[in-house]
Amino acid sequence: MSFRSELTKGLVRENPTFRILLGMCPTMATSLAISNGIGMGIAATFVLVGSNVIVSMLRNVIPSRIRIPCYIVVIASFVTMVDLIMAAFVPKLHEVLGIFIPLIVVNCIILARAEAFASKNGVLYSLADGIGMGLGFTLALTGLSAIRELLGTGTLLAVPDFGFPGFRIFDRSLAAVMVILPPGGFITLGLLIGLLNSLTRRKKKAAQT
């Protein structure tokens, strides 16, 4: 176990979205545009890092019988902070992400990391785990939302709430609306997971022979 491996495992090897399949609800709902994906990813990363560090610090103080309520209080506090800070300083992004900011509380990635990792490991490793998992989530969201934004609206990197129309790749009327609707989200995510699985399987096979 090293700081570096804890940091990088969340990117691909144990990617929370593609590998552990955690936090599917915000993944589906916010991966409509790259800007939303990144915004959601950063907000979740902030909460993840904060809760990981605090839970790890308190791991010897919190009795195991009441650990879940304690974790939830810690997580909920960080989420509320993010919610308030975003509403105050980036109101447009806050509006776009809407209900999904408060719902970070129930994003399973965060509770799962608190329970499975931070409560058993030191502060430094927990910090690395939080950053890595958060970046993995952000990366997955960004990749998924890039595909959905391109196919579903014909643009890339649009940030309409800041008045930036993004780069138009093809005409809006030709864009497949379904891709940014829920079914398109499920299908795109499913195909991405399948692709990643088949790539790793091939890699493993190649390594064996």
- Which residues would be at the binding site for other proteins (CB under 8 A)? 32, 58, 61-63, 65-66, 69-70, 73-74, 76-77, 80-81, 84-85, 87-89, 91, 95, 152-153, 172-181, 183-184, 187
Residue 12 or 123: the one with the smaller Cβ distance to other proteins is 123
Q: Is residue 80 a contact partner of residue 119, using CB atoms and an 8 Å limit? A: no
Residue 32 or 140: the one with the smaller Cβ distance to other proteins is 32
Which residues does 77 contact at the CB level (< 8 Å), separation at least 6? none
Residue 87 or 124: the one with the smaller Cβ distance to other proteins is 87
E strand map for 13-164? 155-156
What is the dihedral sign for C-alpha 127, 5, 144, 108? Answer: negative
E strand map for 20-105? none
* Least spacing, CB of residue 164 vs other proteins, in Å: 16
Residue 20 or 62: the one with the smaller Cβ distance to other proteins is 62
Both tokens of 29, joined, read 């709902």
CA distances from 12 to 4, 130, 140, 196, 202 (A): 14, 14, 9, 9, 15
* Least spacing, CB of residue 106 vs other proteins, in Å: 17
Both tokens of 119, joined, read 């409560």
How many residues can be counted in the chain?
209
* Least spacing, CB of residue 14 vs other proteins, in Å: 26
* Least spacing, CB of residue 20 vs other proteins, in Å: 22
Report the C-alpha gap between 35 and 170 in whole angstroms: 19
Residue 72 or 108: the one with the smaller Cβ distance to other proteins is 72
* Least spacing, CB of residue 141 vs other proteins, in Å: 17
